[in-house]
Amino acid sequence: MSFSECRELISEGDTVILYINVSQIYALEVTPKVSNKHGQLVDNVFQTKYGSLKVTDLIGKKFGSKVSLSKGWAHVLYPTPELWTITLPHRTQILYTPDISMVLTQLEVGPGSVVCEAGTGSGSLSHALLRAVGPTGKLHTCDFHKERVQVALEEFTRHGFGDRVTVTHRDVCAQGLGIEGEADAVFLDLPKPWEAIPHGVRAIKNAGGRICSFSPCIEQVSRTCELMKSIGLREVTTLECLAREFQVKTISLPVISRTKKKIEVQDPDVAQDEPEVIKKQKIDNDNEEEEASDASDKFENNHEEIPTEKENNQAKIESVQKINDIKFRTGVTQLKMPGHTGFLTFATIPPDLKRPEIINNPCDSAE
Ligand SMILES: C[S@@+](CC[C@H](N)C(=O)[O-])C[C@H]1O[C@@H](n2cnc3c(N)ncnc32)[C@H](O)[C@@H]1O
């Protein structure tokens, strides 16, 4: 089953995704019994906010179909690495789909690729790698946490990837990846990637390949980049994947005039995070309004200060100008972009790299 092939109907043993709504999505194993929290085997009945589901009732149903819960309904979806990433049982921090997509693209992983990964963690990235390498490719993944290795192996096997993966229990910094000259790409998600990079280089084919290190902190990135460059890796590049939200706003730009230049925001709720050019203009506009109100106060308190004809004409020009402004709807981005998970540092291992010489130096000098 299931992540590695396409099927229409749900069978016993499948992993299925129960989609209730965007914030209630669950991965279920279609088995008659499950272990409860006391380790006893009980009937596999899944409880939701909309009532219960006897999971074996899904057998024979079509993937994608609507199914009844005791007090509502849900859809039962085919499992994909993307859906697994948002439903998997967390044993560690995991990589999410925006970063995963960048990793697959930048590492140029495709059908037939051989990829090394450390550490396996919760297997979120591993699932995407396993789909990408296809039945002719291979993933060698390792972790120094024994239980995580066992659970990951069980999951990969249950999900139909058993024949294209090796999962090993090892400390990659001390023992390496266990592969030499075989990989097209290496991915590291480790606290001290600089200790594993030389081993990663050793794992790559003589023809060259790509390596990536994921780190949450810029200090780790800095150290990783220095090491990568010092051992002759090329195209060292760090990327951060952030979702940028665009708010649709009506903007009005004045027709260019010799009397005044301004950009004005029509939508009053463009707030803190609007682009500087618009913010500045709003401040300018506010100042203009203050000046105008000062002038009107003066006028009210001192009847001698009557607006001149020139001032009246200027006001008329401005009001005509406002009517002539070009208005358009556009996307305005926020300056602050939340959602930091980590930085992805990529590099190319060139085919002509003198590996034995590099491997020994950086490991010795890393600490
Ligand atoms: C953040 S998790 C990886 C998560 C994974 N990328 C995912 O998407 O699910 C990091 C893993 O690296 C493992 N690890 C840390 N140092 C290691 C080392 N020196 N050798 C092998 N594994 C290591 C940890 O046990 C942990 O499971």
For residue range 215-228, list pLDDT tens digits in order: 999 999 999 999 99
pLDDT value at residue 312: 79
Residue 9 counted as domain residue: no
Distance in Å, CA 94 to ligand 1 centroid: 9
pLDDT value at residue 316: 73
For a substitution probing ligand 1, which of 86, 91, 100, 143 has the most ligand atoms within 8 Å of its CB? 143
pLDDT in tens, 98-131: 999 999 999 999 999 999 999 999 999 999 999 9
Residues 38 and 97 occupy one common structural domain: no
pLDDT category of residue 356 using cuts at 50, 70 and 90? very low
Residues 314 and 263 occupy one common structural domain: yes
Residue 62 counted as domain residue: yes
For ligand 1, atom 2, name the residue with the nearest CA.
Answer: 121
What single string gives the DSSP state of each residue in 101-123? HHHHHHTT--TT-EEEEE--TTS
Q: Inter-axis angle of helices 218-230 and 355-365, to 10 degrees? A: 140
Residues 148 and 39 occupy one common structural domain: no
Residues 142-170: what's their mean pLDDT? 97
pLDDT higher than 90, residue 144: yes
Q: Which conformational region is residue 277 in: left (phi greater than 0), alpha (psi within -120 to 50 degrees), or beta?
A: alpha
For ligand 1, atom 13, name the residue with the nearest CA.
Answer: 119
pLDDT category of residue 86 using cuts at 50, 70 and 90? very high
Residues 14-18: what's their mean pLDDT? 96
Q: Which two tokens stand for residue 124?
A: 């979120």
Distance in Å, CA 193 to ligand 1 centroid: 10
Residues near ligand 1 with C-beta < 6 Å? 92-95, 118-119, 121-125, 142-145, 148, 171-173, 189-191
pTM (2 d.p.): 0.78
Residues 68 and 189 occupy one common structural domain: no
Q: How many distinct structural domains can be found in the chain?
A: 3
Q: Which two tokens stand for residue 297?
A: 């106060």
Residues 160 and 41 occupy one common structural domain: no
Q: Mean pLDDT of all residues in the chain?
A: 85
Amino acid at 203: A
SS3 152: helix
Residues 46 and 162 occupy one common structural domain: no
Residues 238 and 323 occupy one common structural domain: no
Residue 125 counted as domain residue: yes
Residue 52 sits in which domain range?
A: 15-79
Residue 302 counted as domain residue: no
The residue ranking higher by pLDDT, 3 or 331, is 331
pLDDT higher than 70, residue 367: no
pLDDT value at residue 61: 97
Residues 268 and 208 occupy one common structural domain: no
Residue 125 CA: which ligand 1 atom is closest?
8
pLDDT in tens, 287-328: 444 444 444 444 444 445 566 777 777 777 677 666 778 899
Residues 318 and 356 occupy one common structural domain: no
Q: Which two tokens stand for residue 208?
A: 């060259």
SS3 218: helix
